[in-house]
């Protein structure tokens, strides 16, 4: 598009800057210079060819405005410019040819304008080519960078996947090792617990056997003590029984008549005769005399008690009757 626009702009400049000759004048010029023009291979004729060509005024049939032909010409020019000597020779031949043609000022001006236009077009096309080359280089660099980045990304992804795979395998290996270690610890703990349980059961059995042995010994000791106590009790009873035969009987403190005779008998309801007498006579406990005020109060209390207790004592006298078992007649009457 840029080459086409540049061609159109150059065509407009040329159409405005270059005066158009009428067709009759062009034909006469063609006729007058037809015999004097050089061969088609001459460069001067190539410059003048658009002027004397029948399709000079048509834009569509102009081979100069065709971008492909212009690019081919530019390539040929670039190839020619590579060899400086050939270029110098061509310029010399152009100058000689122009000088030999004996062109009019208008034709010389037209040829120079055409040269300038072609040089400008070549320059613009070369600049556009350079720009396109730079753009292509930039695109190529971008593509290369993109490919390099994609390759680096793929390599990073591959390394990352390998690293994650290795880490996963390492984690699995660690977990497996931890599980095996825990299993070994658990197995060792179970073994220790079994050993401790066996030891505890053995001690318990020994303790149970010791307890049974002690209970058996205690039972045997108790039975032996009981037998010994029974034997002692039996011996004591037998001794007491032997002694009881010769022991004096208790005094008969109850009397009565049997067959008209006074006889003594044992009465279980009567009080027994005392079997023990304290040889030490009884002595009253010494009490210190109270103070005077306390003595006065005590004397008043005693007087009050004596006065209050006199009627009750008078009434209780005839009601109380001490028991006397020595009276035979009364005892018989009670029974």
- Where residue 38 falls (left for φ over 0; alpha for ψ -120 to 50; beta otherwise) is beta
Confidence of residue 318 (pLDDT cuts 50, 70, 90): very low
Question: pLDDT of 287-317, one tens digit each?
Answer: 887 777 665 666 666 666 554 544 444 444 4
**Three-class DSSP labels, 250-303:** CCCCEEEEECCEEEEECCCCCCCCCCCCCCCCCCCCCCCCCCHHHHHHHHHHHH
Report CA 204 to chain centroid distance, whole Å. 46
Confidence check: pLDDT of 321 > 70: no
Distance between CA 255 and CA 264 in Å, rounded?
4
C-alpha torsion sign, points 60, 64, 65, 71: positive
The whole-number average pLDDT for the span 175-200 is 92
Residues 6+ apart with CB under 8 A from 74: 122, 125, 126, 129
Please indicate whether residue 247 or residue 160 has the higher confidence score (pLDDT). Answer: 160
Confidence check: pLDDT of 143 > 80: yes
Question: pLDDT of 37-56, one tens digit each?
Answer: 444 444 444 444 444 444 44
Q: And the tokens for 45?
A: 């004729």
Most confident of 7-21, 230-244, 291-305: 230-244
What pLDDT is recorded for position 84? 53
Radius of gyration of the CA atoms of the chain, in A: 82
Question: pLDDT of 247-275, one tens digit each?
Answer: 766 555 566 667 777 776 666 676 766 66
Residue 25, CA distances (Å) to 54, 177, 299 in order: 13, 107, 193
Distance between CA 10 and CA 85 in Å, rounded?
30
Task: Of 326, 321, 323, 322, give the one whose Cα is nearest residue 252.
Answer: 326
Q: At what angle do helices 105-246 and 67-82 cross, to 10 degrees?
A: 90
Most confident of 70-84, 156-170, 236-250, 257-271: 156-170
What pLDDT is recorded for position 82? 59
Domain borders along the chain are 2-138
What pLDDT is recorded for position 112? 87
Annotate 198-227 with DSSP letters as a single string: HHHHHHHHHHHHHHHHHHHHHHHHHHHHHH
Q: What is the pTM of this model?
A: 0.29
């Amino acid at each position: 598009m840029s080459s086409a626009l540049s061609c159109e702009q150059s065509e407009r400049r040329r159409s405005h800057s270059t005066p158009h000759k009428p067709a009759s004048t062009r034909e006469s010029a063609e006729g007058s210079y037809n015999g004097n023009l050089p061969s088609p291979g001459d460069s001067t004729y190539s410059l003048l060819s658009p002027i004397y060509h029948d399709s000079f005024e048509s834009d569509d049939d102009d081979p100069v405005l065709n971008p492909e032909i212009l690019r081919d010409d530019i390539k040929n020019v670039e190839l020619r410019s590579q060899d400086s000597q050939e270029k110098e020779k061509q310029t010399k031949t152009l100058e000689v040819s122009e000088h030999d043609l004996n062109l009019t000022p208008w034709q010389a001006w037209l040829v120079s304008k055409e040269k300038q236009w072609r040089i400008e077009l070549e320059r613009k096309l070369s600049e556009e080519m350079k720009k396109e080359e730079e753009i292509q280089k930039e695109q190529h660099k971008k593509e290369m960078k993109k490919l390099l980045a994609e390759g680096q990304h793929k390599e990073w992804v591959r390394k990352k996947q390998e690293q994650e795979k290795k880490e996963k395998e390492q984690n699995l290996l660690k977990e497996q090792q931890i599980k095996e270690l825990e299993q070994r610890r658990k197995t060792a703990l179970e073994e220790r617990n079994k050993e401790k349980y066996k030891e505890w059961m053995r001690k318990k059995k020994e303790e149970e056997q010791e307890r049974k042995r002690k209970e058996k010994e205690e039972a045997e000791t108790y039975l032996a003590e009981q037998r010994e106590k029974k034997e002692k009790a039996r011996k004591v009873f037998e001794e007491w029984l032997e002694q009881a035969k010769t022991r004096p009987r208790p005094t008969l403190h109850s009397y009565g008549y049997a067959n008209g005779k006074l006889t003594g008998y044992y009465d279980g309801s009567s009080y027994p005769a005392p079997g023990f007498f304290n040889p030490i006579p009884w002595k009253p406990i010494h009490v210190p005399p109270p103070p005077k005020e306390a003595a006065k109060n005590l004397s008043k209390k005693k007087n009050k008690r004596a006065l209050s207790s006199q009627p009750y004592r008078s009434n209780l006298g005839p009601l109380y009757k001490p028991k006397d078992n020595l009276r035979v007649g009364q005892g018989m009457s009670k029974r």
